Structure 1
Amino acid sequence: MTKQEFDNLKKESVTYKYNSFEYLEYENVQNYQLIQKDESILLIYGENSEIGCFGVSWAANIAEDLVSAVKRLGPNILISFIPAKWKDYFNENGFSDYAIFRGYWIQDITKIKGYGDYCLLQEKECKQASEVTLSCRNQSRGFHGESEEGIRSWIKGENPNAKDSNSRHCSILIHKESDKIVGIALVAVYDYDSTNGPVLWLREIAVHPDYQGKGIGRKLILQGIKFGKEREAKRAFLMADDCNENAIGLYKSVGFVPDDDVEINLVSG
C-alpha cells in the first residue's frame, strides 16, 4: 500500500460511523492490503510484524458487517479499537480478548516528588534495551516488547506513535545493575498547546524478570515524572491492560487514577 493510498483510505474512513483509522499511521500498516471497500465496510489486512500476527484496520457502520468480514479471513486475526458497546456481540461470535487497555492519569504531577537523577539510553545501548522488553513478552496481555529498531526509532523521535501524538522529548530512562540494563521506561511529552498543560506519556515500562519485585519499576516511574516536570509537563498518562493487576497496583500507589477510556483489542476465533 502506498502512502497516498493510505491517506485516501484514512480520509474515507470518517464517512463510516466507527473506524480504527483515527489511531493509525502509515508506518504501522504499510504492508497491509485493501480487502473490502463498499458502503458498509472498509477493511485492510496484513501481517503485524511487531506483534507477530495478522491484523486488520477497519471502518464500519454496524458490528454485524465487521464480524462477518473478519471471520472470513480466518482465526487469530487481531482487531483493535472495537467500540465498547460492540464487545459482547463480538464475544458471542467467537472473538476473544487480546487486551483491554485503560487510560490512567495523574492530573497534577507538580505535587509528586521525583526520584533522584535519571539515566537516558544511548543509541549504542538499543539492543540491550530491546532485550529487556522482550524478556517480559507476554507477562501481561498485549505486551509484546520492542525490537532494537523500535527502540532506536523512539529515541530518534521517528516512532509513528510519537509522531501521531506530536510528542516531544522522546527518550528512554534506564536502570542498571552491575553495568547491565535491567529496566527501562519509554517517555515523551505531548499536548503542549493544552490549557491543562503538557502531558508526560509513560508509554512502556519493563523490568527484566530476574529483577522484578525490587522497586525498579516504581523508581523508573518517579524518574519519569521528574523528567516530565523538567520539560513543563503538568499531567501524566499511561495505559495498562485490565488484567495486569500487579502493574495497576503499582500505578495506583504512585497516584495514577483509571478513567473510562479503554482500547478494546480482540482476536477472531
Structure 2
Amino acid sequence: MITDAKYKKINEQRNSFTYTSLAYTPYEYIADSTILLDTKDLILIQGRNEELSMTELYYCTNSIPLLLNAIDAIKEPVYMQFVPKDFVDEFHSHGFESFAYFRDMVCYDIHSNCSVNILSIEDAKEAAAVTRSCRLQSRGFLGETTEWAKNWIQGKDPNTSYCKYSAILATKHENIITGIVAVTLYSFDKPEGPTLWIREVAVRPEYQHKGYGKQLLSQAFAYGSRYQASKSFLMADILNTNAVSLYQQFGFSYNEEEGQIDMIRE
C-alpha cells in the first residue's frame, strides 16, 4: 500500500522524469497499489483495474526501453495509460495492443438557454447504470459505479479537487433517465471566465440516435453559461466517430496536444 506521504514524494519527483503516467492520477487511485521499482530512472507501480480484470501499471521513467524491460518480467495481463505516442511501435513489439486514443477537444462558443435537469444524490444509481449500458462503445469507456456518481454529484471526486459546481445532468423519457452528462467548472481565476469540463456523455443504447446526445450537450452549455464559462473542454476517443461527429456539430475541435494513448497486453 502506498502511503499519502510516499505519494507526495513521488509526485514531487515526477517532474524530474521525461515520461510519466502519473500527472493526472489522484492518490485515491493508487493508494492500494504496490511500488515494484523506485530508482532514479524508473518508478513502476502495480495496481489493479477491476473493470478490465487486469493489472494496471503506473510509471515515471527516463528510458522507455528500461520501462518495457521491467514490464516484460510481469506475466499477467497488463493495462497502461498515457503511453508516449513516439513509442507506440516499441510497445507493440513487446506484445501490447492499442486500446483507446483520447484527444482533447475545445469549444469557444457555449451559449445556450435551454432548461437544465440536475440529478440528485438519489439518482446516482440510475445515472451510473446509464454509463454502464454504454460500456466499451468507446474502447476506453468502461462505465461508472454508483459511488463515482455520488462523489461527482457531491463534488468529492478526486479528479475535481480544483473544480467547482460539479453536477450530473440528464434527459428523461417517461421518468426513465435516457442519458447523462457529467459537468464541472475550473479556472475561475481567468479574466475571460472559467472553463466548463464535460466529463462524459452517455445515452442508453435503446435511446441513441434520437437527439438525446444533442439535448445533453445543450444542457451542459446552459449549465456552463450560468457560471459565465468562456469555453468548454472534453476528451474524446477519436475512434468513436459518432461521438466525435456530435461534438464537432457543437463547435468542438481538437487542440494541438498529443492526447492520451492507452494500451493493453493480454
TM range (shorter): over 0.9
Aligned residue for 1:206, secondary structure, equals strand
Q: Does 1:60 align with 2:64?
A: no
Q: Choose which of 241, 244, 263 in structure 1 pairs with 2:240.
A: 244
The answer to whether the 8 A contact 1:75-1:267 is kept is no
Distance (whole Å) between structure 2 residues aligned to residue 9 and residue 105 of structure 1: 31
Q: Deviations for 1:67-95, whole angstroms, at most 9, x for unmatched residues? A: 11122212431111122212222123221
Q: Choose which of 120, 132, 135 in structure 2 pairs with 1:134.
A: 132
CA-atom RMSD, angstroms?
1.4
Number of aligned positions between the proteins: 264
The two structures have a TM-score, normalised by structure 2, of 0.95
Segments of 5+ residues of structure 2 without an aligned counterpart are: none
Q: Choose which of 145, 148, 170 in structure 2 pairs with 1:147.
A: 145
Aligned residue for 2:16, secondary structure, equals coil
Letter in 2 for 1:68: N
Summarize the Cα distance change of 1:87–1:196 in structure 2 as closer, same or farther, 3 Å threshold.
farther
Q: Deviations for 1:184-214, whole angstroms, at most 9, x for unmatched residues? A: 0000011112344311111011000110000
Aligned residue for 1:158, secondary structure, equals coil
Letter in 1 for 2:239: C
| Identity value in percent | 33
Give the equivalent residue in structure 1 for 2:263: 266
Letter in 1 for 2:194: P
Distance (whole Å) between structure 2 residues aligned to residue 108 and residue 74 of structure 1: 48
Distance (whole Å) between structure 2 residues aligned to residue 42 and residue 196 of structure 1: 39
Q: Choose which of 248, 253, 259 in structure 1 pairs with 2:249.
A: 253
Letter in 1 for 2:120: Q
Letter in 2 for 1:69: A
Summarize the Cα distance change of 1:2–1:50 in structure 2 as closer, same or farther, 3 Å threshold.
farther
Segments of 5+ residues of structure 1 without an aligned counterpart are: none
Distance (whole Å) between structure 2 residues aligned to residue 107 and residue 42 of structure 1: 38
Give the equivalent residue in structure 1 for 2:91: 90
Deviation at 1:66, TM superposition (A): 1.2
Distance (whole Å) between structure 2 residues aligned to residue 24 and residue 64 of structure 1: 23
Give the equivalent residue in structure 2 for 1:2: 3
Matches within 5 A, 1:67-82: 67-82=68-83
Deviation at 1:246, TM superposition (A): 0.5
Give the equivalent residue in structure 2 for 1:183: 179
The answer to whether the 8 A contact 1:82-1:263 is kept is yes
The two structures have a TM-score, normalised by structure 1, of 0.94
Distance (whole Å) between structure 2 residues aligned to residue 249 and residue 239 of structure 1: 13
Deviation at 1:49, TM superposition (A): 3.1
Q: Does 1:11 align with 2:12?
A: yes
